[in-house]
Amino acid sequence: MDIVVCVKQIPDPADPGELDSDTNTLKRDMKLIMDESDSYGVEMALQLRDAAGEGEVTLVSMAPNEEVNGLRSALAMGADKAILVSDEALAGTDALGTARVLAAAIGRAQADLILAATESSDGYTGTVPEQVAELLGLPSVTFAKEIQADSGEVVVKRQTEAGYDEVRCPLPAVVSVTAGVVEPRYPSFKGIMAAKSKPMDQVGIGDLGISAEQVGWAGGGQEITDVSPAPEREAGEIITDEGDAHERIVALLEELRIV
């Protein structure tokens, strides 16, 4: 089974980071790491490939400055190869532009299944996997907690508030994976060394047939005009138990329409 996994490389969440004064966007000129939410998709892909007994796992990523650190981490886990799209024209690209780039890059690989995280840790739009599916003309299944693939179809347990729905659809398909559904493996020393020699196809938007007008600030047609600190949380009400604390708590819950 040949599987493509979309991997976003982001600034380390442990580092507060810094905003660009001109664009009010997060600076990405430092070392980037694989988004933790994507590590679940990588692990899921590796398990599906191993269960099938054949096939490859290909990573697809869009990142500035030809950054590959996050991709190397996924290759060290066991992925077979990667496609990196890096181009100065991509600065400021919105969710739809990102999906357009990823879809074009995915088209360079033969894929039975495309996996992605439900949403990235630095963007939280939650729209890119579905946009990729639409651009590729493929069915999309979201919030997958379990995936099985066999006989040309994928069977997904789709997480819901009440439990899960079992969804079946033909392959190829795009499936977004919920964080925490599998335990991502730690790269071994052998895997880390092997990752350095695995194929890494680096391309620009011209190689994908995408013009500068379709991506970046021009393609998104958006501008961040202002960024301000979130308001500080106000102190909550302290209830001292004088024998009637339970009544006051129930009254508060009723006021909030929780009970």
Rounded to 5°, angle at Cα 135 from 130 and 136 = 95
Region of poorest pLDDT, from 15-29, 58-72, 121-135, 184-198: 15-29
Q: What pLDDT was estimated at residue 96? A: 94
Pair of tokens at residue 185: 């493996």
Average pLDDT over residues 248-254: 88
What is the model's pLDDT at position 178?
94
Radius of gyration for the chain, computed over Cα atoms and rounded to the nearest angstrom: 22
Identify the sign of the CA torsion 98, 79, 74, 41: positive
Asked if 214 and 93 touch (Cβ cutoff 8 Å), the reply is no
Q: Which DSSP letter does residue 224 get?
A: -
Least confident of 55-64, 125-134, 216-225: 216-225
pLDDT at 259 > cutoff 80: no
pLDDT of residue 94: 93
Q: What percent of the chain has pLDDT above 70?
A: 100
Do residues 41 and 60 make contact, with C-beta atoms less than 8 angstroms apart?
Answer: no
User: What pLDDT is attached to residue 256?
Assistant: 86
Average pLDDT estimate for 108-120: 94
Rounded to an integer, what distance in angstroms lies between the CA atom of residue 233 and that of residue 187? 40
More confident residue, 60 or 229: 60
Q: What is the pLDDT of residue 136?
A: 97
pLDDT at residue 220 in the model: 85
pLDDT recorded at residue 195: 96
List the domains of the chain with CATH numbers.
3-220 (3.40.50.620)
Q: Which pLDDT tens digit goes with each residue over 54-91? A: 999 999 999 999 999 999 999 999 999 999 999 999 99
Q: What is the pLDDT of residue 235?
A: 82
Residues 6+ apart with CB under 8 A from 241: none
pLDDT on residue 157 = 96
**Cβ-proximal residues to 94 (8 Å cutoff; 6+ apart), any chain:** 219, 220, 222
Look at the block and give the residue holding tokens 């335990």: 183
* pLDDT above 80 for 237: no
Q: For position 41, what pLDDT does the model report? A: 97
Q: Residue 124 pLDDT > 90, yes or no?
A: no
- pLDDT for residue 4: 98
User: Would residue 121 be called left, alpha or beta, if left means φ above 0 and alpha means ψ between -120 and 50 degrees?
Assistant: alpha
Q: What percent of the chain has pLDDT over 90?
A: 71
How does pLDDT run across 2-51, given as a tens digit for each residue? Answer: 999 999 999 988 887 788 888 888 888 888 999 999 999 999 999 999 99
Identify the helix (H) or strand (E) that includes residue 83. Answer: strand 81-85
Residue 107 token pair: 């088209």
From first CA to last CA, the distance across the chain in angstroms is: 50
Task: Say whether pLDDT at 234 is over 90.
Answer: no
At 131 the pLDDT is: 97
* Secondary structure class of 191 (helix, strand, coil): helix
Per-residue model confidence (pLDDT) at position 59: 98
State how beta strands 57-62 and 81-85 pair: parallel
Would you say 176 and 118 are in contact if contact means Cβ atoms under 8 Å apart? yes
Q: Tell me what the pLDDT averaged over the chain comes to.
A: 93
